[in-house]
Structures are given as structure tokens and as C-alpha cells.
Amino acid sequence: MLQPDEARARIVGEWVAKAERDLRLAEHLVADLPEFDDEAAFHAQQAAEKYLKALLVQQAVEFPKTHDIADLLELVATVSDALAQSLEDAEALTAHAVGPRYPRGSVEVDAERAAEALALAQRVRDAVVAALAPEPPAE
């Protein structure tokens, strides 16, 4: 039987694995398939969302079903205000969560905007992965 910390670590790993898949897909779309700018931006948003949710799970912070990066960063701020503030510009990704997936979406996505979304998602990944890393043992 898994202990609570082991179960939580497993769930965090599942969120990170899903985020990695979304991020890799966004990277591939931006690099190799520019006709899929909307989809690249969507997967960048999804990656950032899932990385943030992984961090919240690790910190035992409950979160609602949401695609809103600002809402997730407010929750992240409860455990690390500095981290949340450093990722504040990632709130722009929320515009890519739903709208661009449908005709007449609210945001027009071109190659530049898709690349910007990808860069934001990569920043979220780097910050969250660093925050998830275990503390080195004290000497």
C-alpha cells in the first residue's frame, strides 16, 4: 500500500508527464507545422496549466477545475509568492485555453503568437520543475 507521500508523488508525476506531452507537442507544432499555430498555443497553455497543477498537488493545495492560469497562480502564491509573481506574464496563456479551438475564437493566433505561448509554457515548466526538485540534504 502506498503511503500518502508516495501517492502524492505519483500523482505529481502523472501531472508532469501529461504536461511534458503537451509541451513536446507544442514544440513540434511550432518548429515543424506552422499551419497549426492555434493548436500549438492551445497545447502550450495546457502544458503550463498542468505544470502548475502538479506543483499545487505537491504542496497539497486544492484547486478547482479551471483553465485560468491567473486563478492557478493565485493558489501558487499561497505557497510561493515569488514564484507566482515570476510567472505572472503566463496569465496570457489563458486566452489559448478554449477560444482558439473553435471557429471565431477570441484570439487570432499566428506563428509569432504561438512561439510566444510556447516560450511562456517553457518558462512555467522550468520554474515548476525547479520548485518540485527535492531539497539537497543539509551537510
Give the CATH number for residue 114.
1.20.120.330
Structural domain contains residue 10: yes
Structural domain contains residue 138: no
Structural domain contains residue 137: no
Task: Indicate if the pLDDT at residue 23 is higher than 90.
Answer: yes
Q: pLDDT (tens digit, 9 = 90+) per residue, 86-138? A: 999 999 999 999 876 666 666 788 999 999 999 999 999 999 999 998 766 66
How many separate domains does the chain show?
A: 1
Task: Indicate if the pLDDT at residue 139 is higher than 90.
Answer: no
Structural domain contains residue 19: yes
CA count, 13 A, side-chain hemisphere, 39:
12
Task: Find the domain containing 81 and state its range.
Answer: 4-132
| Spatial distance between the Cα atoms of 139 and 136, rounded to a whole number of angstroms | 9
Q: Which residues contact 126 (CB under 8 A, 6 or more apart)?
A: none
| pTM for this entry | 0.92
**Cβ(67)–Cβ(45) under 8 Å?**
yes
